[in-house]
């Protein structure tokens, strides 16, 4: 039996009692509710009461009302006639606002990433400074190990790909230049393209996909297994232990790999020129010497340590950013490869504009 004042002033108490009643166990098929003890009954109470009736009906209980006055009955009938209110539909966002929101979120993410990368570079530079002041801090054995992994082990792949790319560049250049009777300049094309741009760029992309991803996976796995936290607990700096040897090793090995890649590209182009243009190796070498000067070779080698630093720093920072799951390791590895290749291409473009501006 319902009793008392059922108005908006007591809505919280009424609603709480009705919700408790709706959640309780039901061991019958019929519920009879007597309204004769209710002194006041308004729209708010009628709404929550109608909701309780619907809950009972959904649970298989039939509800009958007794002692209803005529105003109470009309009010309940009116509330029931409206039924349950439909959920409000979200206002559609215009397409241009969605695009602007996506651009803004991406810009903010890029800004946060750039700020974090600059902070990480500063930390590594300080660590290098401490190592120069105290050379005994430098871990020589990991340095040699990473030189082997990122340099010597990558040599077969670099040699094969640069040889093939050199052959393709020579073949396409000879075909196009033959239309103008200038196929002899195919040698100049191969030498300048490979020694200034393609040899280094192709090698840096291979190293980014191979060694940069390995740096991220290795450090990320250590972060996931809490080995880096154990280093800090022992008073060891993870930057000195993990980052410095990898950055130094890649800065040494990438120029060497670039030099080998340049040679293999020239050899690949020379093979094609020999068969397509019937040019002897001696003539080919003399033409290369005429087309190449000191700065043609130096431009590519000067850029190599900078690209190596970018690849190593991006890979190590991505590894240190791993959270605690294997999925995070995979995501960060993919992200480091994409960012490394993107930054390598941007850096190469900046160097190309700089060297062109200074006349080199």
Q: Is residue 113 part of a domain?
A: no
For residue 225, what is the enclosing H or E element? none
Where is the domain boundary, 30, 59, 82?
82
Residues 63 and 193 occupy one common structural domain: no
Tokens of residue 218, six digits: 């290795």
96-118 confidence digits (pLDDT tens): 888 999 999 999 988 998 898 99
Residues 155 and 278 occupy one common structural domain: yes
Cβ-contact 243, 318 below 8 angstroms:
no
Residues 72 and 133 occupy one common structural domain: no
Residues 69 and 155 occupy one common structural domain: no
SS3 283: helix
Residues 55 and 175 occupy one common structural domain: no
Percentage helix, strand, coil, to 5, in the chain?
80, 5, 15
Where is the domain boundary, 82, 105, 132?
82
Residues 262 and 319 occupy one common structural domain: yes
The yes-or-no verdict on residue 45 having pLDDT over 80 is: no
Q: Is residue 53 part of a domain?
A: yes
Q: Is residue 254 part of a domain?
A: yes
Distance CA 80, CA 64 (A): 14
Q: Is residue 50 part of a domain?
A: yes
Q: Rg for the chain (alpha carbons), in Å?
A: 37
Classify residue 1 by burial, with Cβ atoms within 10 Å: 0-12, 13-18, 19+: exposed
Nearest to 41 by CA among 21, 15, 71, 62: 71
> Which residues share a beta bridge with 90?
none
For residues 253-264, give the mean pLDDT: 93
Task: Note down the domain range covering 59.
Answer: 3-82
Residue 136's pLDDT band (boundaries 50, 70, 90)?
Answer: confident
144-175 confidence digits (pLDDT tens): 999 998 888 899 999 999 999 999 999 999 88
Where is the domain boundary, 55, 82, 109?
82
The yes-or-no verdict on residue 10 having pLDDT over 70 is: no
Q: Which residue has the higher pLDDT, 104 or 3?
A: 104
Q: Is residue 145 part of a domain?
A: yes
Domains identified in the chain, total number: 2
Total count of residues recorded for the chain: 360
Distance CA 237, CA 242 (A): 9
Residue 223's pLDDT band (boundaries 50, 70, 90)?
Answer: confident
Q: Is residue 226 part of a domain?
A: yes
Residues 242 and 312 occupy one common structural domain: yes
Residue 310's pLDDT band (boundaries 50, 70, 90)?
Answer: very high
Cβ-contact 180, 300 below 8 angstroms:
no
What pLDDT is recorded for position 23? 63
| Residue 39 belongs to domain with CATH number | 3.30.750.24
For residue 4, what is the enclosing H or E element? strand 3-6
Q: Is residue 109 part of a domain?
A: no
Output the CA–CA distances (angstroms, integers) from residue 12 to 4, 36, 43, in the order listed. Answer: 14, 21, 14
């Amino acid at each position: 039996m319902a009793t008392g004042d059922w108005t908006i002033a007591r809505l919280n108490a009424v609603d709480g009692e009705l919700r408790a009643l709706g959640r309780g166990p039901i061991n019958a098929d019929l519920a009879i509710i007597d309204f004769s003890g209710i002194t006041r009954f308004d729209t708010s109470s009628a709404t929550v009461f109608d909701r309780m009736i619907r809950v009972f009906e959904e649970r298989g209980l039939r509800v009958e009302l007794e002692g209803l006055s005529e105003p109470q009955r009309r009010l309940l009938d009116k509330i029931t006639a409206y039924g349950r209110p439909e959920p409000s539909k979200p206002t559609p966002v215009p397409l241009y606002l969605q695009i602007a929101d996506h651009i803004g979120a991406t810009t903010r993410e890029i800004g946060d990433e750039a700020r974090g990368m600059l902070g990480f570079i500063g930390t590594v530079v300080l660590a290098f400074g401490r190592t120069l002041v105290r050379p005994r801090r430098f871990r020589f054995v990991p340095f040699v190990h990473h030189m082997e992994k990122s340099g010597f082990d990558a040599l077969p792949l670099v040699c094969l790909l640069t040889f093939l790319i050199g052959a393709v560049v020579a073949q396409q250049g000879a075909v196009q230049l033959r239309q103008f009777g200038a196929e002899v300049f195919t040698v100049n094309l191969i030498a300048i393209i490979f020694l200034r741009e393609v040899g280094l760029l192709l090698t840096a992309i291979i190293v980014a996909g191979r060694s940069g991803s390995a740096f991220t996976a290795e450090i990320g796995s250590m972060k996931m297994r809490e080995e880096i936290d154990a280093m800090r607990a022992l008073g060891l700096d993870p930057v000195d232990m993990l980052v410095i040897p990898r950055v130094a090793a890649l800065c040494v090995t990438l120029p060497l790999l670039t030099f080998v890649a340049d040679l293999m590209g020239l050899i690949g182009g020379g093979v094609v020129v020999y068969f397509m243009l019937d040019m002897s190796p001696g003539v080919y070498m003399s033409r290369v010497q005429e087309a190449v000067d000191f700065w043609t070779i130096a431009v590519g080698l000067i850029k190599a340590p900078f690209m190596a630093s970018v690849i190593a720093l991006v890979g190590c920072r991505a590894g240190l950013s791993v959270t605690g799951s294997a999925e995070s390791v995979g995501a960060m590895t993919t992200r480091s490869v994409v960012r490394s290749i993107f930054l390598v291409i941007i850096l190469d473009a900046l160097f190309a504009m700089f060297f062109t501006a200074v006349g080199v």
